Amino acid sequence: MKKVIIMASGNGSNFEAICKYFSNSKEIKISHLITDNPKAYVIKRAKKVGIEPKIIDYSTFKNKEEYNKALFNYLKTLDFDLIVLAGYMRILLEHIVKYYKNKIINIHPSLLPKYRGLNVIEKAFNNNEEYIGITIHYVDESVDTGKIILQKKIKIEKYWDLEKVEKEIHELEHKYYPQVIYKILKGGF
């Protein structure tokens, strides 16, 4: 049985989509949810599917180094095959990324290398991009620069507003992120 840790900071719609995808799997199990935000809605989603969330509250640490030390120490106690970042809003420090090289993936709501960082759907929309999409990539020592695993794009129709674009991006994420996780764990990427 392959075990997956999901790390999230907010709403948790990707978390829910991934859990649903693997809910009847006898090969892959979502074993843990880790969040840095004690008010994240993903906590309720985790409890709903029977996963007790681990909250490592970022606001209780002096700095990101102390937070990452606590996170790293916790990760080392777990048995898992893959870490999946799903709306996790912290940057993992270099030593964590190196220790778990090729075992951490992220999903980003743009066609990297364009629009790295935050608020990228809005940036792409405001720049009148013809296409927008998602990138699933391995996490490396920089932000949104890791080896690309999969990209999917959609054409932005002229009558779409920002809300519609965001909805379309989330549908791409929910469809393709679980498929990529499955393929990675089955040796396909």
DSSP the chain: -EEEEEEESS--HHHHHHHHHTTT-SSEEEEEEEES-TT-THHHHHHHTT--PEE--GGGSSSHHHHHHHHHHHHTT---SEEEESS--SPPPHHHHHHTTTSEEEEESS-TTSS-SSSHHHHHHHTT-SEEEEEEEE--SSSS-SPEEEEEEEEPPTT--HHHHHHHHHHHHHHHHHHHHHHHHTT--
Dihedrals φ, ψ of 42, to 5°? -60, -25
The answer, yes or no, to whether residue 71 has pLDDT greater than 80, is: yes
Q: Average pLDDT of 126-133? A: 95
Mean pLDDT of the chain: 96
Q: Is the pLDDT of residue 189 over 80?
A: no
Per-residue pLDDT tens over the stretch 84-129: 999 999 999 999 999 999 999 999 999 999 999 899 999 999 999 9
Set 32, 108, 137, 174: catalytic member: 108
Q: How far apart are CA 89 and CA 101, in angstroms?
A: 19
Q: Are the C-beta atoms of residues 107 and 85 closer than 8 Å to each other?
A: yes
Q: Give me the mean pLDDT over the 6-18 stretch.
A: 98
Which structural domains are found in the chain, ordered by start?
Answer: 2-111+134-152+176-185 (3.40.50.170)
Q: Which amino acid is at 147?
A: K
Residue 188: band (very low, low, confident or very high) from pLDDT cuts 50, 70, 90:
confident
Q: What are 16-40's pLDDT values in tens digits?
A: 999 999 999 999 999 999 999 999 9
Whether the pLDDT of residue 11 is over 90: the answer is: yes
pLDDT exceeds 80 at position 136: yes
Known catalytic residue: 108?
yes
The C-alpha atoms of residue 132 and residue 124 are separated, in whole angstroms, by 7
